[in-house]
Structures are given as C-alpha cells and as structure tokens.
Amino acid sequence: MRQINYMSFKDLSLNKPILKAITEAGYDNPTLVQEKTIPLVLNKKDVIVSAQTGTGKTAAFALPILQLLFDKQDAPKSGKKIKSLIVSPTRELAIQIEENFKTYSKYTNLRTTVVFGGTSIEPQKDILKKGVDILIATPGRLLDLHKQDIVNLDYVEILVLDEADLMLDMGFIDDVKKIERLCTNEKQILLFSATIPYKVEQLANNILNNPERVEVAQNASISNNINQVLYYVPKRNKIELCLHLLRNTIKGNIIIFRRTKFGVEKLEQTLLKNGYKVETIHGDKSQNLRQEALQKFKNKEAKILIATDVAARGIDIDNLDNVINFDLPNVPETYVHRIGRTARAGNSGTSYSLCSADEKAYVTTIQQLIQNQIDVVEDHPYPLDPKAKPEIHKSKKTGSKYKKGRKSTASKKKKKRWY
Ligand code: AMP
C-alpha cells in the first residue's frame, strides 16, 4: 500500500536533527502523502488529507509539526506549553502516533505524551504537569483532563484531527467541536481522514480556514501481492470451514475479522477449545488488555488475532501473512482496509473471505469497488448450495444461553457500542 516517491527528505527542508532521526528509522524517501502534505503544513496552511493508514500519513503531519516547533522549544524548566494537539479516535492509534513522534523527535528537546481513557488518569496527570510540547489524545480523556485544569489548550498552534471519519462514526462530533473551540482562534488545523464523507466535509467547512486538499487515492487500490480468495459457505458451517482452513491451508500469522465483539468472543472460545493460541481485540476490552493482546500477536506468541474493524483500525502490523474475513463487511471500503494489512512493504499475503447466502450482495459491491473478480474456491468440504436462501437466525423466545450476563459492564454503560 505504501507508495514511495523519489523526492528526498532533504528537498522538504527539514532540520538536521529530524533528518537524522528519519534516516535512523530507515526511511529513504518521503511517501506520496508526505511529499504533498509536508510543504503545505510548513507553509502554515490548513489541510484536508484523505489517506489511509499505511500511506505514511502520520509522518506527513508529525514531521512538519516537529519542524515548525523546533525553533520554539521552551526550556523544560520554564514550563512547556502544549503547542500541538493531535486528536485520535482510538487508543491504539494514539499510542502509535506517539511512538512515531518519539522516533522523529529523538534529537530534539520537544516533549511528547499521549493520554487516553480506559486507564488510570493519575500517571497521565503527572507527566502533563511537567509540561509537554505535543499532546496526543483521545477526545473523552482530553476533555476530562481539561475540565480538571490539567490541560491548557490556550497555546495550541497546530491541531490535528486524525481519522476524522472514524471519529465522527464513533460519535465524537460534539467533543471534537468542543476541543476545537478550546484552542486559540489562530491555530492551524490539519484534518486527516481515510474517506471524506459529507459529515467530514461539513466539519471541515465549519472549522478549517481555506484548506488545501491532498488526496492519496488508494481507497480501491489493492496491492498485486495480495492473493484474494472467496469461499461460499452456509453460515452455520463458517466455524468448521475456518478450522479446516487453519488446519490444512493457511500458513503464517492471521487476523480474523468479525463484525461484532460478540462474534469475536464466540470464535475465540471455539479456537481455544481446538487448541489454538488466540488473541482478541474489540471495543469492550480495557486498554491494557488490548495492548497486551496486540503485543503478543506482534511478538508471535499467538499466531491468530481476532478483531472487530473499529478496534483494529489504524493498527500497524508489519509482516502479516493472512487475513480472514469471517464475516464479510457491509461497507466495501472496509474490505479494502482489512486486506490491505497484508502484503505490506513488498511482502505477499492472502485474504480468505467466507461468504454465506445473506452476504452475497456484499461480494457484488466489493467487486465493483475493487473492479476485480475475487477467485472462488469451490473445492472445500462445506459448499453452499447456489440456490440456498439466506438462513434466518431464529432466537428462542426464552432462555437464550447468551442472554444473561452476555454484555460486560463497559458495554452496558456505552449502549451504542457494538464494535
Ligand atoms: P502510517 O500510514 O503513518 O500508519 O505509516 C505506515 C508505516 O509506514 C509506519 O510503519 C511508518 O513507520 C512507515 N513509514 C512512514 N513514512 C515512511 C517513509 N517515508 N519510508 C518508509 N516507511 C515509512
């Protein structure tokens, strides 16, 4: 997915300490989104950038921010003020952004920290009290800390809204507007979004000042190194087919995508019972547990990660061999996001999609989007009768074994969350 260009970082007029850090990180040339965005940000323009994870979008805002703040570094003792605020919808993404900032700012005195909910607030307060130049935050925790007078946004010169589409999908619109108003009027705003639906456009119209646009059109482009295959299978046999593929076909590490957290948990139980080491991430898990799961998967302690789309979005995993679409996504772009996680940096990967009778329409829209036919594997033990009607899931009126206590406390509190 990453498009490397042949302009050099030196052409982007970045300072030596920043250049040194990116060379050490192993970046030879800027990616397309970096090449287009960095000069605009250095020119103090507001920007709307449509680019997905994997394009190098984080460095596209992090590098020019470091450059702009480089000459204005407050000495730590005189009390640093937050000059740049990056708002991210998910904790995982926020952590990744902070890691990137730390890498690129290694040879500067600029201090960065990250705050997010679902974890103890006290250590975050202690760090903030010592002063930081750059703050990365999820909306809820940021507002909480602001209310407690721990965060002062009066000095923010550059505000970044990352994954704006996801932020709005997750219901953060009012928080985002509030955060924007808490910063100074003169700030520069950088809005990044994988897609630019109407509501993102509307938000941009309201808060950005004469923005420049950057588009890295990758939404429907899929690396040639991804082998995509499709299995038609009755819904009730999906788990068996998944086990069959794990036993006989799939080699290497795997992310299995499911649409709901309940689906994630159900599949986890089945795979555990069958002797597989499995990690899971979904919206109901505490931050620590999600990080732990991700780390174990990255360290290869578990070969299988089961995830919902939202929990997995933005997570950067190098060397992913396989993706299983256990449930097909109803939004075709999600398919592209999911499978784009394999075959990064010139590696190859395979995506396995399991399609039941009620999901056939999704295949049509996905194929329209990617302008390609996905190869169908017919030779497998659980074929779907081509004339099969969608199976209707009948829930018994009484005594569903999942009814009581199925939802965690977090889920009950946040009723709207299903991911
Ligand atoms: P992102 O889209 O920001 O999530 O970045 C995806 C991955 O690309 C991350 O692992 C970055 O470290 C890496 N990356 C970003 N910029 C470059 C570059 N210019 N050259 C090589 N890798 C890069």
Q: What is the pLDDT of residue 47?
A: 98
Domain contains 127: yes
Q: Give the type of residue at 26.
A: G
Domain-embedded: residue 395: no
Q: Which residue's CA is the closest to the ligand 1 atom numbered 5?
A: 56
Mutate to test the pocket of ligand 1, among 2, 53, 61, 320 (most ligand atoms within 8 A of CB): 2
The answer to whether residues 228 and 214 belong to one domain is no
Q: Return the ligand 1 atom nearest residue 51 CA.
A: 2
Q: State which of 195, 219, 243 marks the end of a domain.
A: 219
Distance CA 191, CA 337 (A): 19
Task: Give the pLDDT of residue 345.
Answer: 62
Position in ligand 1 atom list of the atom nearest CA 314: 4
Which of 9, 24, 27 has most ligand 1 atoms within 8 Å of its beta carbon, as the pocket-test mutant? 27
Distance 136 CA to ligand 1 centre (A): 18
Residue 273 resides in a domain: yes
Same domain, 200 and 250: no
Same domain assignment for residues 168 and 189: yes
* Residue 189 shares a structural domain with residue 317: no
Q: Are residues 192 and 208 in the same domain?
A: yes
Ligand 1 centroid to residue 12 C-alpha, Å: 16
The confidence score (pLDDT) of residue 411 equals 43
The pLDDT value recorded for residue 75 is 64
Q: Which ligand 1 atom minimizes the distance to the CA of 9?
A: 19
Residue 215 domain flag: yes
Residues 329 and 292 in one domain: yes
Distance 5 CA to ligand 1 centre (A): 12
Q: Are residues 215 and 237 in the same domain?
A: no
**Whose CA is closest to atom 13 on ligand 1?**
56
What are the helix and strand counts (H, E) for the chain? 16, 14
Q: How far is the CA of 54 from the centre of ligand 1 (A)?
A: 6
Q: Whose CA is nearest to atom 14 of ligand 1?
A: 56
Ligand 1 atom, smallest distance to 103 CA? 12
Distance 372 CA to ligand 1 centre (A): 27
Tell me: do 178 and 238 sit in the same domain: no
User: How many whole angstroms from 25 Cα to the centroid of ligand 1?
Assistant: 9
Considering the domain architecture, whether residues 296 and 153 belong to the same structural domain is answered as: no
Strand partners, 161: 87, 191
CB 84 within 8 A of CB 153: no
Q: Could you tell me the distance, in angstroms and rounded to a whole number, from the CA of residue 56 to the centre of ligand 1?
A: 4
Contacts by residues 142-148 (CB-CB < 8 Å, ≥ 24 positions apart): 142/85, 142/87, 142/115, 142/179, 143/175, 143/178, 143/179, 144/117, 145/115, 145/121, 146/182
The binding-site residues of ligand 1, defined as CB within 6 angstroms of any ligand atom, are 2, 27, 30-31, 34, 53-59, 316
Q: Work out which ligand 1 atom sits closest to the CA atom of 318.
A: 10
Asked whether residue 16 is assigned to any structural domain, the reply reads yes
- Tell me, what's the pLDDT at 319? 81
Contact by Cβ (8 Å): 308, 281: yes
Taking the centre of ligand 1 as the mean of its atom positions, its distance from the CA of residue 207, in whole angstroms, is: 28
**338 within 8 A of 309, measured Cβ to Cβ:** yes
User: What does the pLDDT profile of the chain (419 residues) look like in tens digits?
Assistant: 344 445 788 888 899 999 999 999 988 888 888 999 999 999 999 999 998 777 789 999 999 999 999 977 766 656 789 999 999 999 989 999 999 999 999 999 999 999 999 899 999 999 999 999 999 999 999 999 999 999 999 999 999 999 999 999 888 999 999 999 999 999 999 999 988 889 999 999 999 999 999 987 554 456 778 899 999 999 999 999 999 999 999 999 999 999 988 999 999 999 999 999 999 998 788 778 888 898 999 889 999 999 998 667 667 777 889 999 999 998 888 898 888 888 766 678 899 999 999 999 999 888 877 777 899 999 999 999 887 777 665 544 444 434 343 444 444 444 444 44
Return the exposure string of 189-209: e unless at least 16 CB atoms fall within 10 Å of the residue's CB, then b. Answer: bbbbbbebeeebeebbeebbe
Choose one of 190, 219, 248: the last residue of a domain.
219
Q: Are residues 265 and 172 in the same domain?
A: no
Give, using CA atoms, the residue closest to atom 11 of ligand 1: 56
Residue 182: alpha-carbon gap to chain centroid: 26
End of a domain among 156, 189, 219?
Answer: 219
CATH of the domain at 251: 3.40.50.300
DSSP string, 379-394: -SSSPPPTTPPPPP-P
Report yes or no: 109 and 131 within 8 Å, Cβ to Cβ: no
In ligand 1, the atom with minimum distance to the C-alpha of 27 is 20
Residue type, 332: P
- Residue ID of nearest Cα to ligand 1 atom 6: 54
Domain that holds residue 27: 9-219
Considering its fold, how many domains does the chain have in total? 2
19, 334, 349 from 346: Cα distances, Å: 24, 22, 10
Q: Which atom from ligand 1 is nearest to the alpha carbon of 29?
A: 19
* DSSP state letter for 343: S
Same structural domain for residues 147 and 256? Answer: no
| Nearest CA residue ID for atom 20, ligand 1 | 27
Contacts of 27 (CB under 8 A, 6+ apart): 9, 59
Residue 415 pLDDT: 43
Same structural domain for residues 334 and 229?
yes
Predicted pLDDT at 204: 95
Task: Tell whether 405 is covered by a domain.
Answer: no
CA pair distance 49, 163, nearest whole angstrom: 10
Residue 4 within a domain: no
Do the domain assignments include residue 53? yes
- What pLDDT score was predicted for residue 131? 92
Take atom 16 of ligand 1 and give the residue whose Cα is closest: 56
